[in-house]
């Protein structure tokens, strides 16, 4: 036996640290021969054998000294052994040697299968080692132990960590939700776990596109904190996202009743409107809540708040999305929106004052040294570089850009690690693809560090993070294109339009300089078209009938426009009306049936179509229609392009606002004027005429098909050259205004 006990044990530990396990084991074997009654030697020797992969020998070594011990002492000895294993497991965890930790903790589990903290650690390890499966949660007994909840010495700091990792790894597995529910009683302070629940719910909804599961997660959290406004807001959104409009509306109303701050009230009313309009058919309630929203916005403008918290401020612009669906009065509406956008920018820049001032100083200094001719860096900012309307429509600009003159940076907000072929197409097309998260300050800094010359926002107010980035002004020239109407944020210099999509008077109420391209503000090379799944006979529609179609979501269903459509159906014999789009099924049916009856149209002439999963199939199904009837005051955009590409006549009502003129500019740029109405009466007249005149329909269809080779709307390469010319002119103007 080594003479100095301390010396040999220190030596054994050094061997352990150096992974010289056999040398350390020899020392413990020698010690056991000398002092066989010291049980800790057996525990350490067994550990060393285990680390060498000799699991059976390790277990026999641990069992050896227990053979002659009285039963009442077994528990004490077991605890001593567990302490040795636990200590080594924790040491290995700090070294991130997870495979070894896994082996040690599995043996701890065999010895004490009810150690909840060890089981939770094993769950974490299975994730780190990429071998986690939901079934392990059930088989391990973790959920059952938490449900029983007796005599658990639970590490409350460990629990949120495990929950986040499980939800981040397997958020849609039913066992993950069972684990979440079982954990609820162990959170004494709900706010300690709120970020875990919210982050996981956001990822489940936006990355995995599972709003039902995301809703369930927030429902669990609200059991702990029933009046948490942030949880209620997102729950209202998630309910509405998967068509549970009644609960979405009620939850939004609860948000409004609980809101104390003006900005929170504004967003809550927006959520109420979002639900009502998304469902379709709740027109009286929509109008009432729209009045409430407008009143609140005027109150905000009067108050001019200068110290809003970041989240409340970020939500200020979203309600601007609602009003254009209800009325076409841009001069009034834009004046309000512009003032709210000014408040938004003021607060954002105050929150990030140092960052904003640094950008401003740098841009001024750089401007003085810029040269006229060099490759321009164009940055495109969006969350929609994926299977989304913006993703479909912006492709031509990326595909045809001049690589000698321009360096293209694509900034993917909330980049999704999912199978989305459009997203990956954009990654491959851009000169540089930046796969980013959802932190606006970090995104702005990336843009600034990249030295972007012209930043193009494709989202406008449809995403608060994009608005935040633009308000910080990380690039010398900033513009909005495609995703929506202009936001009114003062830091944005230009809004891309054309001679048709905005009237000449629009500059009077836009803060951005309207930059009109010579022909069209949008062009595509075409669309993928699949195999149709709709047949007239399956819809019980005669083959010689005239079929009208309107494919828009509930948001765009306005009673006045619907009344015009019913007048058309009434005047055209043997005609049927197909109605398609996301909405609450019963509400939208009641909405259409009521107006049909008031206009003397038999409800049997209406057909409500289900949505289809693939855009290519949706486009193919448009072919069942003889005439498409557009919505007003919010026109179709992508749907209009798809209709024209498929060669189908369209009737649209032209208004004043951007949203009421999309179909107009697209039809003109496809070479078609038949179907463009400037009054309500003309809308009905065109609808009736096109329904009764098959020769006219055939003529339009032939013109549209021929236009694929000649029209500006279908020439994305020419459009790219016009956009690039605009970039160069903007840059020259910027340099010459020193």
Give mean pLDDT in consecutive 10-residue pieces for the chain, a chain of 738 residues: 67 92 93 91 93 93 82 85 95 94 94 93 93 81 87 86 91 91 91 90 87 96 96 97 96 98 96 96 95 97 94 93 94 96 97 96 76 85 95 96 97 87 96 96 98 97 96 98 96 98 97 98 96 95 97 94 98 97 92 97 96 93 97 97 98 98 98 98 98 98 97 98 98 88
CA-CA distance, 117 to 201, in Å (whole number)? Answer: 25
Identify the pLDDT of residue 191: 86
- Please, how many CA atoms are within 13 Å of residue 338, restricted to the half-sphere of its CB? 14
Contacts of 234 (CB under 8 A, 6+ apart): 198, 201, 202, 214, 218
Identify the pLDDT of residue 530: 95
Please answer whether residues 329 and 490 qualify as being in contact, where contact means their C-beta atoms are separated by less than 8 angstroms. Answer: no
Specify the fold of 1-112. 1.25.40
- CATH class of the domain at 537-714: alpha beta
Contacts of 674 (CB under 8 A, 6+ apart): 649, 686, 690, 696, 700
- Say if strands 376-382 and 494-497 run parallel, antiparallel, or are unpaired: unpaired
647 φ/ψ angles, rounded to the nearest 5 degrees: 75, 35
- Tens digit of pLDDT for each residue in 614-667? 999 999 999 999 999 999 999 999 999 999 999 999 999 999 999 999 999 999
Query: According to CATH, where is 1.25.40.10 located in the chain?
Result: 1-112
Identify the pLDDT of residue 513: 98
Identify the pLDDT of residue 5: 58
Kindly provide the b/e burial profile for residues 439-452, where b requires at least 16 CB atoms within 10 angstroms of the residue's own CB.
ebbebbbbbbebeb
Which residue bears the tokens 């426009």?
561
Phi-psi region of 580 (alpha: psi -120 to 50; beta: other; left: phi over 0): beta
Identify the pLDDT of residue 67: 76
Cα separations in angstroms, 336 against 330, 342, 714: 10, 10, 36
Query: According to CATH, where is 3.40.50.11380 located in the chain?
Result: 352-516
Identify the pLDDT of residue 151: 72
- Tens digit of pLDDT for each residue in 62-100? 998 887 777 777 888 899 999 999 999 999 999 999 999
- CATH class of the domain at 352-516: alpha beta
Contacts of 422 (CB under 8 A, 6+ apart): 385, 386, 387, 388, 391, 392, 395
Identify the pLDDT of residue 370: 65
Query: According to CATH, where is 3.40.50.2000 located in the chain?
Result: 537-714
Identify the pLDDT of residue 523: 98
Tell me which residue of 412, 477, 497 sits closest to 723, measured CA to CA. 497
């Amino acid at each position: 036996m080594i003479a100095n006990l301390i010396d040999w044990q220190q030596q054994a530990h050094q061997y352990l640290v150096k992974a010289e396990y056999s040398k350390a084991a020899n020392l413990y074997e020698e010690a056991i021969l000398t002092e066989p009654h010291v049980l800790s030697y057996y525990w350490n020797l067994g550990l060393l054998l285990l680390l060498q992969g000799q699991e059976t020998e390790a277990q026999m070594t641990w069992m050896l000294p227990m053979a002659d011990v009285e039963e009442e002492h077994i528990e004490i000895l077991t605890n001593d052994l567990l302490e040795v294993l636990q200590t080594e497991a924790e040491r290995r965890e700090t070294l991130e040697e997870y495979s070894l930790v896994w082996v040690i903790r599995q043996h701890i589990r065999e010895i004490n299968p009810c150690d909840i903290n060890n089981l939770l650690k094993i769950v974490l390890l299975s994730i780190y080692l990429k071998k986690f499966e939901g079934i392990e949660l059930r088989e391990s007994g973790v959920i059952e132990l938490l449900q029983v909840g007796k005599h658990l010495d639970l590490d409350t700091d460990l629990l949120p960590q495990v929950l986040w990792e499980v939800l981040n790894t397997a958020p849609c597995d039913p066992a993950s939700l069972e684990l979440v529910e079982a954990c609820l009683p162990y959170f004494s302070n709900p706010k300690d776990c709120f970020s875990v629940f919210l982050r996981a719910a956001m990822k489940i909804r936006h990355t995995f596109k599972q709003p039902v599961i995301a809703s369930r997660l927030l429902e669990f959290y609200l059991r702990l904190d029933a009046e948490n406004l942030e949880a209620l807001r997102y729950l209202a959104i998630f309910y509405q996202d998967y068509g549970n409009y009644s609960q979405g509306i009620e939850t939004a109303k609860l948000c409004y009743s609980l809101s104390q701050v003006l900005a929170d009230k504004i967003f809550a009313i927006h959520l109420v409107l979002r639900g009502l309009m998304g469902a379709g058919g709740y027109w009286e309630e929509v109008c009432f809540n729209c009045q409430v929203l407008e009143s609140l916005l005027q109150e905000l403008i009067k108050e001019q708040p200068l110290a809003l918290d970041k989240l409340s401020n970020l939500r200020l612009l979203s309600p601007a999305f609602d009003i254009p669906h209800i009325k076409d009065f841009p001069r009034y509406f834009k004046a309000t929106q512009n003032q709210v956008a000014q408040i938004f920018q003021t607060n954002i820049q105050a929150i990030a004052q140092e960052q904003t001032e640094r950008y401003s100083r740098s841009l001024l200094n750089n401007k003085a040294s810029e040269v006229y001719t060099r490759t321009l860096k164009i940055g495109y900012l969006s969350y929609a570089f994926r299977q989304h309307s913006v993703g479909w429509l912006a492709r031509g600009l990326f595909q045809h850009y001049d690589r000698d003159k321009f360096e293209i940076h694509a900034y993917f907000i909330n980049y999704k690690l999912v199978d989305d072929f459009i997203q990956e197409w954009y990654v491959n097309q851009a000169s540089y693809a930046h796969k980013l998260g959802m932190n606006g300050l970090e995104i702005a800094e990336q843009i600034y560090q990249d030295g972007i010359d012209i930043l193009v926002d494709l989202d406008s107010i449809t995403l608060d993070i994009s608005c935040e980035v633009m308000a910080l002004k990380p690039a010398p020239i900033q513009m909005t294109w495609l995703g929506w109407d202009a936001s009114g944020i003062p830091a944005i210099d230009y809004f891309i339009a054309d001679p048709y999509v905005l009237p000449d008077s629009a500059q009077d109420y836009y803060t951005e300089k309207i930059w009109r391209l010579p022909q069209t503000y949008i062009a595509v090379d075409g669309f993928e078209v699949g195999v149709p799944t709709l047949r007239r006979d399956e819809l019980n529609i005669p083959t010689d009938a005239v079929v009208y179609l309107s494919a828009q979501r509930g948001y765009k269903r306005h009673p006045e426009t619907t009344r015009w459509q019913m007048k058309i159906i009434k005047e055209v014999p043997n005609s049927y009306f197909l109605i398609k789009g996301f909405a609450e099924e019963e509400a939208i049916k009641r909405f259409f049936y009521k107006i049909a009856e008031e206009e003397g149209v038999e409800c049997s002439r209406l057909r409500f179509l289900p949505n289809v999963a693939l855009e290519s199939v949706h486009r193919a199904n448009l072919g069942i229609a003889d005439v498409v009837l557009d919505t007003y005051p919010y026109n179709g955009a992508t749907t209009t392009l798809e209709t024209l590409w498929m060669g189908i006549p369209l009737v649209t009502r032209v208004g004043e606002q951007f949203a009421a003129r999309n179909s107009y500019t697209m039809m003109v740029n496809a070479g078609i004027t038949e179907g463009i109405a400037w009054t309500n009466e003309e809308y009905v007249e065109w609808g009736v005429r096109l329904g009764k005149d098959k020769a006219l329909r055939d003529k339009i269809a032939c013109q549209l098909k021929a236009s694929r080779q000649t029209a500006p709307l279908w020439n994305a390469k020419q459009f790219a050259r016009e956009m690039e010319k605009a970039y160069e002119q903007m840059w020259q103007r910027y340099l010459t205004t020193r």
